[in-house]
Amino acid sequence: MVTGGTRGIGAAIAEWFRRAGDTVYAPGRAECDVTDEAAVHAYFAKLGLVDVLVNNAGVSSSAPLAKTTVHDWHDQFEVNATGAFLCTREVLPGMRQRDHGRVVTVASTAGHAGFRYTAGYTASKHAAVGLTRAVAAEVAGSGVTANAVCPAFVRTDMTAESVARIRARTGRNETEAEAALAAAAPLGRLLEPREVAYAVAFLAARETAAINGQTLVLDGGGIQR
C-alpha cells in the first residue's frame, strides 16, 4: 500500500513493487484522503491484510515564518504527519498479529534539519520521523519494523513548484533555480524518484528485519545519523 501513489515518488515506488511481482494499491487523494479518519478506515477495511505500508503522501509550502498561515501549517501537519499516523494505525494490528510487516515513511532531510522558509514542512516532517521512532519502539522484537527514508530534493511536481517560487522571487531562470535547490545537499543534483523507490524497497525487504526505527538519509552525506 503506497499512499500518494499516483505521481512522483509514490508512482515510482508503486511501479518498483509491481515489477517485483507484488500486488500494489496506490491511491491518490481522491481515492483515499489520508487526512480523513473515516475515509482511511473504510479504504483499509477493503484491503484486508497489508504486508508493506509506504506513507508517501505529502504536501509542502514555502514562506517566511511571519507569513506562514495557520491553514498552511495545519494542512502540512494533517497530510505529512496525521496521515501517516492514521494509515499506520490501520495496518499495525494485522502486522502484529502475523509478526510480520513493514512500515516505511517517506520523510525528508527536513525531518532532521531546519531549512529557511519551511517552518510547517520541517516541523511536520520532524513529526513524521518521531512517529516512525515511536512505532519502531512499540513493535521492536515482533517481526514488524518501522523506518523512514529522508531524501533531499527529488525531481517531482512538488519540487517544480519550489523551482517556480524561486524564479518568481529571484528572477533566476529554471536551471539556476534548480541548481539552488540541488546545492542544499552535497549530492549536488536533484534525486530521481527511482532512487527513493529503491531505498523504500530496501527497507521493505524481508532481509532487512534487523533495521528498525532508523532514518535512511539520501543527500550524499550532508546529514549523518
DSSP state string for 66-134:
GG--HHHHHHHHIIIIIHHHHHHHHHHHHHHHHT-EEEEEE--GGGTS--TTBHHHHHHHHHHHHHHHH
pLDDT tens-digit map of 166-177: 788 888 888 888
Whether 150 contacts 129, CB under 8 Å: yes
pTM of the model: 0.93
Domains within the chain, CATH numbers bracketed: 2-152+192-218 (3.40.50.720), 155-190 (no CATH)
Q: Which residues are catalytic?
A: 121
**What pLDDT band is residue 113 in, cutting at 50, 70 and 90?**
very high
Residue 160 has a pLDDT of 78
pLDDT tens-digit map of 137-152: 999 999 999 999 999 9
CA distance 3 to 30: 11
DSSP strand pairing (144-151 vs 215-218): parallel
Instruction: Return the minimum-mean-pLDDT range out of 18-22, 120-124, 154-158, 193-197.
Output: 154-158
